[in-house]
Amino acid sequence: MRVAIVADVHGNRHAFEAVLDAVEASGAEELWCLGDLVGYGADPDACVELARRHAAICLAGNHDLAVSGELAPEQFSPGAAMSLRWTREVIDSASVAYLAGLEPLRLDEPVGLYHASPRDPVWEYVLSPLQAELCLDYASHRVACIGHSHVALSFHRREGESATGETRADREELDLADGEWLLNPGSVGQPRDGDPRAAWLLLDTRAWTASYRRTDYDAAGAAGAIRAARLPDSLAERLLHGQ
């Protein structure tokens, strides 16, 4: 199956709509979302509705869990906490109900799906080969997809060797047939790898290949919506720089 994997939408309707158009053009059969539909961005209801309409699978991210009441905003950084409190005030009750029905992992597909990591599906940022090594020891699938870090990257471990990893750029292709893998598609709504374009991944579970993708979108419009909502200006400015 050809599946589009997305993560970390974070209330950025402009980016999510652009990625959905690119996914449709790619020939992907399904869309799977690794969570964090809300938080930081100014359009939480629109992003929840887009996921509800288009995602065959959607996980709960830590920001989703905070908006649905499972986590406290005080567990987040000051800017994130402010955006979460604002989101709680403006979001529709139907959107909250949708978020409350999501889980941070799913293990009944050909690949493991986690918002953050196999060891800690809610909070762990997997950014080093050592962390990847520990997560691969814990994972129940040979290939797993993770989000949360907002960085497009992959980790690979061949039998008898230690895990290695690297960030991934637009149109990089991976052959997943050998060894164990952790794949992070990067962030749709708030990339933090220096490339402001929305990030996603095209995964083929029959051929065992993966293709990293970036999609242009109206980042200035998304930043303007954040400023109009009177959220911290830093949340708007970082969209323009991929940070």
Percent of the chain with pLDDT over 90: 100
- Give the total number of structural domains in the chain: 1
CB atoms within 10 A of CB 229: 17
Boundaries of domain holding 88: 2-240
Token output for 67 = 């908006």
What does the pLDDT average to over 218-228?
97
Could you tell me the pLDDT band of residue 215, with boundaries at 50, 70 and 90? very high
Return the pLDDT at 84.
97
pLDDT tens, residue by residue, 57-70: 999 999 999 999 99
Return the pLDDT at 126.
98
Q: How far apart are CA 72 and CA 94, in angstroms?
A: 20
CA distances 238 to 111, 163, 191, 216, Å, are 32, 31, 9, 15
pLDDT tens, residue by residue, 132-174: 999 999 999 999 999 999 999 999 999 999 999 999 999 999 9
CATH number of the CATH domain containing 97: 3.60.21.10
Return the pLDDT at 17.
98
Burial of 218 by CB count in 10 Å (0-12 exposed, 13-18 middle, 19+ buried)?
middle
pLDDT tens, residue by residue, 88-138: 999 999 999 999 999 999 999 999 999 999 999 999 999 999 999 999 999
CA triple 194-199-201, angle to 5 deg: 135
With the C-alpha atoms ordered 84, 87, 91, 95, is the resulting torsion angle positive or negative? negative
What does the pLDDT average to over 188-214?
98
Percent of the chain with pLDDT over 70: 100
pTM for the model: 0.97
